[in-house]
Structure 1
Amino acid sequence: MSAGPLLLFDGECGLCHAVVRFLLRRDRAERLRFAPLQGVTGQALLQRLGLPTADFDSLVFLPDVAAHVHHLRSDGVVAVSQYLPGGWARVGRLFGVLPTRWRDAGYRLVARSRYALFGQYQPTPLPDPRWAERILD
């Protein structure tokens, strides 16, 4: 597996897939890669990091897959936002000023109700076929 930033996300969550598409559209430098937590890549990395392999209420962001550094929940959101252009990185830094406890409380609230609010992921073709190369199994 090559080094570089990777976001692990709930592959069955409609909101999570929408966030991945949002990030794909804005990451014009094409640095970010993505993998569902339930997939082969996600499961291997969760095991390597000593994280639960069946609890998918948190995203996991690895700034460098080769390192053992990872960010969960709202810390992951803040970290991944720094890979986005201009205003999005600033929004992430502003969000990061809030205490982690507050950010994670909001994150957990959305995570608990994400299926009720946004539904389960229904596969649809990617708007840009090149994006498929950045989504790992």
Structure 2
Amino acid sequence: MNYYLIYDGDCNLCVTLVQLLETLDQGKLLRYVPMQDEQSLKQWGITEQNCQQGMILIDANAPERLWQGSDAAEEIGRLLPLGSIFVDAYRALPGAKWAGDRFYEQIRDNRYTIFGKRDSTYQSVYCVDC
């Protein structure tokens, strides 16, 4: 385990992403914390307002190192097998980073409208405190 991923446990899209990552990684690199778990977030000084800016990836060995939003998505991509090839190719395309950031913001700000909101917060089997 090397990273903590803070995600929206009420968002259908976010939960689907976490479930996909759980399947791919099986807890080897990533542990998960829903942004609704305010008690766990306090240990990193993360507030609800921080979470509104998108998912957060924290380096477990150096918690001061973190990525948020589309930067977190890219860093997760780099962590996956062969993922850095795709992230590097994406970054090499002129304007792709800017467009990707704007796309992420639109999805983030409209996630419940587009993908729906869960009735209960999803708790990963690979959680931080389990």
Q: Shorter-chain TM-score: what band?
A: 0.7 to 0.9
1:90 alignment partner AA: I
Aligned residues: 125
Question: Does residue 94 of structure 2 align to residue 102 of structure 1?
Answer: no
Q: TM-score, normalised by structure 2?
A: 0.77
Matched with 1:12 is: 10
Query: Could you say what the CA RMSD is over the residues aligned between the two structures, in angstroms?
Result: 2.7
Aligned partner (choices 98, 122, 127) of residue 135 of structure 1:
127
Q: TM-score, normalised by structure 1?
A: 0.74
Matched with 1:60 is: 56
Q: Aligned equivalents of 1:71 and 1:19: distance in 2?
A: 17
| Deviation for aligned residue 1:104 | 1.4
| Deviation for aligned residue 1:123 | 4.9
Map residues 45-84 of structure 1 onto 2, 5 A cutoff: 45=44, 47=45, 51-54=46-49, 55-64=51-60, 66-84=62-80
Question: Which ranges of structure 2 fall in alignment gaps of 5 or more residues?
Answer: none
Question: Which ranges of structure 1 fall in alignment gaps of 5 or more residues?
Answer: none
Contact 2:10–2:121 under 8 Å retained in 1: no
Contact 1:78–1:96 under 8 Å retained in 2: no
Q: Aligned equivalents of 2:72 and 2:112: distance in 1?
A: 20
Contact 1:37–1:43 under 8 Å retained in 2: no
Q: Aligned equivalents of 1:10 and 1:19: distance in 2?
A: 10
Contact 2:55–2:72 under 8 Å retained in 1: yes
Higher relative contact order (CA 8 A, sep 6+): 2
User: Share of identical aligned residues, percent?
Assistant: 22
